[in-house]
Homo-oligomer: A and B are copies of this chain.
Amino acid sequence: MAIRIDRYPGTGVKRGKLYFGGADVTKLAKEYGTPLYVIDETTLRNRCREYRTAFEQRYDNVTVLLACKALTTIAVSGIVSDEGFGLDVASTGEMYGGIKAGADTSMMFLHGSYKKEEELAQALKWGIGTVVVDSLLEAKTLDRVARGMKTKARVIIRVTPGVEAHTHEMIQTGKLDTKFGVPIEGGAASEIVGAVSKMKGLDFTGLHYHIGSQILDVEPFRVSVRRVAGLIAEVVEKYGVEIRDLDVGGGYPVRYTSKQALPAPDKFAAAICGTLKKEMKAAGLPLPHLYLEPGRSVVGPAGITLYTVGPVKEIPGVRTYVSVDGGLSDNPRPALYDAEYEAVIAGRADTKRGLKKYRVSGRHCETDTLIKEIALADPKPGDIMAVFSTGAYNYSMAGNYNKFPRPAVVLVNNGKSDIIVERETIEDLYAKDVMPKRLVKKV
């Protein structure tokens, strides 16, 4: 019943206590309070290097970008930039975070299905390297903005190859039912390439696509490369354009439960690079610069969350609930996606016998189930619980439901720790509140 802690990178157990990034997490909880997000710098850098190495070994011109939606803090953006990553950004806020981190704006790609005119203008002012155009409307707006600024915006076009993959499931369809991008099937993608490549304010350099999340199989990556290679051959022939850039997006998985088997980055690199080289060779075309955008697979395993255990409530014949001092507002993924997580009691991390099953509940005023069922070593009020693989889509999706302040984020590195995001205070939660004068009189 015990989980395989050793399969979570950055972890260790000494005298029964859980360590992460070389730090005793029980001590971290005491020093910084709970709930607490902890990011291990070594794991983060290792994951960056694994992706770079896997692809660079197989392909000459490749750039890896971090999908910032999974986790943006200034320190994290700084670290991944230091590792040679670019940034996949999807808002003015994500661009700004990268800039504050000192990241190279020319290595940022601005994504999004609905970018406002002022955001496009801001991106050009900040020198954002590439805008990933999602529609003809956006291309026209950007063209106008760029010409008005007497510049050219480097753009790639988001196309939908009709492949959608999540975990083991792959859907192949022509008319892909998504708000994003322009479908290849039916000719819309080819048409927009023709239109965009003629716009004076735009420097059209290639294509982007993204086929899903947490994909556990390499086949969808192969199929989508083939489909997009077909589009490349078509537009080169039809419009005489050059496809210099190909951004194959993300979808690479993270281990959420310790017994799960995952393909290594190597497998994805081999599938993508191998198929692309083969297809381009067959079409007699030069290889484009390859971009990829892992998010959760890089930052996910680099994070854990620490909670303090509260009341333990046994309902005889039903189950036993163990409460923690966080939940829905710091990790909405179980409620949003039925996401699974694993946990241990940090002070008894090596206990393998006598574990019992619990439901882990958050402390918000609703059901707030964090983990449906997990075997734990006799959790007691005051114990520290560590939840694994929370680096992605936890801090980035956090809110203040029930007016709980968002947790601090601590960076650990070979046993040392630094705050990289301070804990919110109660006062912060009302910093933007205003009481209109006419109401002050009344109440």
Report the stretch among A2-10, A56-64, A173-181, A256-264 that lies at the interface. Answer: A173-181
Interface pair A113/B432, CB less than 8 Å apart: no
User: B421 near A433 (CB under 8 angstroms)?
Assistant: yes
A366: chain B residues at CB < 8 Å are 69, 213
Contact between B175 and A318 (Cβ–Cβ < 8 Å)?
yes
CA of A75 to CA of B294, assembled, Å:
43
Q: A315 contacts the other chain (Cβ, under 8 Å)?
A: yes
Query: In the complex, A431 Cα to B93 Cα: how many Å?
Result: 12
Q: Which residues on B sit within 8 Å (CB–CB) of A135?
A: 311, 313
Interface stretch, picked from A47-55, A220-228, A230-238, A396-404, is A396-404
In the complex, residue of chain B having the shortest beta-carbon distance to the beta carbon of A381 = B137
A401 touches B69 (CB 8 A): yes
Q: Which residues of B contact A381 (CB under 8 A)?
A: 137
What is the bound-complex CA distance between A82 and B436, given in angstroms? 14
A282 interface residue (CB < 8 Å to B):
no
With A183-B315, A311-B113 given, is the CB distance from A430 to B97 under 8 Å? yes
Are B138 and A439 in contact, with the CB atoms below 8 A?
A: no
Binds B, one of A273-281, A283-291, A319-327: A319-327
Residue of B nearest to A423 (CB): B432
**Separation of A400 and B73 alpha carbons in the complex (Å):** 12
Contact with B along A298-329 (1 / 0, CB 8 A): 00000000001011010111110101110000
Interface centre among A134, A308, A318, A368 (most CB of B within 10 A): A318
Q: Which residue of B lies closest to A408 (CB)?
A: B432
* Of the residues B72, B321, B335, B399, contact of A398 by C-beta under 8 Å: B399
- For A121, the chain B residues whose CB sits under 8 A away are none
Q: Which of B93, B111, B359, B420 contacts A429 (CB 8 A)?
A: B93
- What 1/0 mask marks residues of chain A from 420 to 443 whose CB sits below 8 Å from any chain B CB? 111110111111111110110011
The distance in angstroms between the C-alpha atoms of A396 and B423, with both chains bound, is: 19
A70: nearest chain-B partner, CB-CB = B365
B114 touches A310 (CB 8 A): yes
User: Could you tell me if A402 and B69 are in contact, using CB atoms closer than 8 angstroms?
Assistant: yes
Contact A403 B336 (CB under 8 A): no
A92 contacts the other chain (CB 8 A): yes
Q: Which residues of B contact A138 (CB under 8 A)?
A: 311
Q: List B contacts of A401 (CB < 8 A).
A: 69, 396-397
Encode contact with B along A155-191: 1 for CB under 8 Å, 0 otherwise: 0000000000000000000011111000100100000
A397's contact among B73, B315, B399, B428, by CB below 8 Å, is which? Answer: B399
CB distance A318 to B177 under 8 Å? yes
Best-surrounded residue of A111, A361, A400, A404 (most CB of chain B within 10 A): A400
Q: Does A199 contact B (CB under 8 A)?
A: no
Supposing A403-B97, A424-B432, A434-B418 touch, asked if A186 and B78 sit within 8 A by C-beta, the answer is no
New contact pairs (18) apart from A96-B427, A113-B363, CB-CB < 8 Å: A69-B401, A72-B403, A74-B434, A75-B435, A93-B403, A97-B403, A97-B430, A101-B443, A112-B365, A114-B310, A114-B323, A116-B308, A179-B323, A179-B361, A332-B336, A420-B436, A421-B434, A422-B434
A contacts, CB < 8 Å to B: 67-69, 72-75, 78-79, 81-82, 90-94, 96-97, 100-103, 111-114, 116, 134-135, 137-138, 175-179, 183, 186, 213, 308, 310-311, 313, 315-319, 321, 323-325, 332, 335-336, 359, 361, 363-368, 381, 396-406, 411, 418-424, 426-436, 438-439, 442-443
The 6 closest A-B pairs by CB, nearest first: A93-B403, A399-B399, A114-B310, A418-B436, A114-B363, A114-B323
